[in-house]
Amino acid sequence: MALLDLHPRVHATKVIERCELAQGVTLLTLHAPQLASAVRPGQFVMAIPPSGESAATALAVYDISGKHASILFFVTGKRTSELAGLAPGARLDVVGALGNGFDCAGNQRDVAIVAGGVGIASVWLCAKALLARGARVRLFYGARTAELLVEAQRFADVGCELILTTDDGTRGERGFVTDALRRAAPPEAIFACGPSPMLRCVGQIANELEIPAQLSLEETFGCGVGGCWGCVVALTARSDRAPNFPPAQRGGSDVVYARVCKDGPVFLADELRW
Amino acid sequence: MTPSLATRLGKLELAYPTLMGSGCYGSGEEFAPFADLSKIGGIVLKSVTRLPRLGNPTPRLVHTPAGMLNAIGLQNPGIEWYLERELHKYKDRPCKIVGSVAGFSIDDYAYVCERLAARDEIEAVELNVSCPNVAREGETFGCDPDLTERVVAAARATTDKPLIVKLSPNVTDITAVARQAERAGADALAVVNTVRGMAIDVESWRPRLGNITGGLSGPAIRPIAVLAVYEVAQAVNIPIVGQGGIENLSDALEFFLAGATAISIGTANFTDPRIPQRIAGELQAYLARRNLGSISEIVGRANVGISTAYQYEGDEG
Ligand SMILES: Cc1cc2nc3c(=O)[nH]c(=O)nc-3n(C[C@H](O)[C@H](O)[C@H](O)COP(=O)(O)OP(=O)(O)OC[C@H]3O[C@@H](n4cnc5c(N)ncnc54)[C@H](O)[C@@H]3O)c2cc1C
Ligand SMILES: Cc1cc2nc3c(=O)[nH]c(=O)nc-3n(C[C@H](O)[C@H](O)[C@H](O)COP(=O)(O)O)c2cc1C
Ligand code: FES
């Protein structure tokens, strides 16, 4: 029926492979030719729950290869457990690709990618794009424990230098990934994705070193497409990223809220107001 | 013969009986890449106030069982900027556009309503007298029948455009508010806005919303909303836009049967942007299957007249 036609940016994908990378960490490879051809590094999709019983989930597009796109996620609640239960052959509709993504077109030769936990899912395509441009890429990757440092070898195999940290010292240096970043020789630019406290710290380091940093933020999403203003982050009034608000009249404040889903999820460290 | 899905709210004619709830669908522009706007009845724009509002601190959303809590806090650029920079975008939308007005005094409502209603881009105005996410005043209007009557009368005086008044479920007797809104000149009623709620993080012991409390939407509130529509339909003669947790055909039918002339879909768009189109298609098939010519044939037809075997003392327990 015409009323039920798929819209061009709602993709009916099929699960090709499901892989449990670690306890509670799932990698789903999807047959998704249109999505795979359209996505840019750092963009995400809204995965429509097959049961229809909850809101869609925001997930980064981890990797693409030919007609396949994959998502990598932690099982944290109802929606991600439903997705983790999808067996090969199952259909999964996704909306996307969404968001601005990382800008990998700069001419920095020496970059740091900083990933915390599941933030690794947002930076693989970014790493590949930067390597393809000939940049030196150092991956600072931190997790709670060794087992959760998923996919690290993959980054090394394509030429990233790895600096690994774990909170409990079971692999790499003990401590936070930001401590390792602080100790390292300063890169020319930083690309980061991870929990908010980590991103805030990466932002501080970047601001101190006066190097540009692109941070991919996480907020609770409603619509994921810019319609509900539920996912906002505070920016300084200097930022031009928050559209459609009278600059002189922000309620007497120099803060303005921008949507993480539509105006981001990637923001520059110096426009954020933590 | 294909059944007609057309419906009307006073002078507002809708090709489909589906409005997209205020605050959930942006300007339509955001959803246009994922949904066919020509297959929905209309979009109720996000509520606008007299002065710009920054909105509430974050987090503004929490997912809860069968729904979500939100506390956006009416973030909007204020009516002047809105008229100048935003409204033109809605001109060529392939569905009806309804403006939404919020305020903190009767004057505010009347002012914003008049400014907004003067514009061709919108076909009707919804008065949001029921927002639970602004420090008291916003909802106080909708919780007090007399204040509601005064706000509606003041807004009515400013415009001939169809006026929809959006009611709050957070009241003891929603019919009292409904009746006075009708008396003051409302053309239709939107029933209901979100239900007040709260969630607390048990690790940090802090409220999970920056605003502490929020409005609950989604399937969790559907029975509350169906009852409200049913009760309001008995109390007034103007059409009702039913809303609260509608996600599929069966949910939509409940609202029509309870007495709604149109439905509004909010949170379900966050699950799947194709839901409004799907409901419209399935509604048409449902009517055809039952040899019905239009949805007006099912409005308010809930079969509550059949008495049970014995008389209940109350309606619970
Ligand atoms: C742009 C973007 C990209 C993303 N990409 C990825 C990705 O690639 N991989 C990935 O794994 N995730 C990703 N996420 C995060 C993912 O969308 C969320 O984790 C999602 O909410 C999971 O849904 P859920 O229903 O399974 O869990 P939810 O129930 O929503 O739980 C999510 C988080 O909230 C916490 N939480 C749940 N209930 C409570 C409570 N009662 N009190 C306190 N905290 C609570 C959980 O501990 C958990 O950390 C992304 C998010 C964004 C915004
Ligand atoms: C994120 C969000 C923002 C909302 N913003 C508004 C608003 O600005 N004005 C308004 O009248 N209602 C607003 N609402 C209420 C909805 O329009 C709707 O009445 C309510 O959510 C119940 O319907 P639903 O369960 O289909 O979402 C909002 C709801 C949500 C979830
Ligand atoms: S999640 Fe709705 S605007 Fe970002």
pLDDT given for residue A7 in this prediction: 67
Please report which helix (H) or strand (E) contains residue A182, including its range.
helix A177-183
Is residue B113 annotated as a catalytic residue, yes or no? no
Q: Is residue A63 scored above 90 in pLDDT?
A: yes
A48 CB within 6 A, ligand 1: no
What is the rounded distance in angstroms from the CA atom of residue A76 to the CA atom of residue B122? 43
Mutate to test the interface with A, among B24, B27, B31, B34 (most CBs of A within 10 A): B34
In terms of DSSP H, where are the helices of chain B?
79-81, 106-117, 137-143, 145-156, 174-183, 222-235, 249-258, 275-289
Interchain proximity A228–B23, CB inside 8 Å: yes
Instruction: Compare A239 and B24 and report the one with higher pLDDT.
Output: B24
d(CA A141, CA A149): 7
Give pTM, 2 decimals: 0.94
Q: At what angle do helices B249-258 and B275-289 cross, to 10 degrees?
A: 60
Q: What is the largest CA-CA distance in chain A?
A: 60
Amino acid at B62: V
Q: Are B229 and B259 in contact (CB under 8 A)?
A: yes
CA distance B151 to B126: 12
Q: How confident is the model at residue A2 (pLDDT cuts 50, 70, 90)?
A: very low
Q: Convert the pLDDT of each residue in A249-258 to its tens digit.
A: 445 567 788 9
b/e sequence B102-137, b meaning 16+ C-beta within 10 Å? bbbebebbbbbbbbbbebebbbbbbbbbbbbbbeee
Buried b / exposed e over B243-272, threshold 16 CB at 10 Å, is bbbbbebebbbbbbbbbbbbbbbbbbbbbb
| Dist. CA B147–CA B200, nearest whole Å | 33
- Window A:197-256, CB contacts with B under 8 Å: 219-234, 244-246, 249-251, 253, 255-256
SS3 B13: strand
Question: What per-residue confidence (pLDDT) applies to A273?
Answer: 86
- Facing residues of A165 across strands? A142, A173
CA–CA gap between residue B224 and residue B219 (Å, rounded)? 10
Which residue has a Cα nearest atom 15 of ligand 2? B193
Residue A4 has pLDDT above 60, yes or no: no
**CA dist., res. B41 & res. B264, Å (int):** 9
**Residue A1, pLDDT score:** 34
B308 DSSP 8-state letter: P
Relative to the CA of B67, which ligand 2 atom is closest? 25
> Does the structure show a pLDDT above 90 at B130?
no
- What ipTM does the predicted assembly reach? 0.93
How many Å lie between the centroid of ligand 2 and the Cα of residue B169?
A: 13
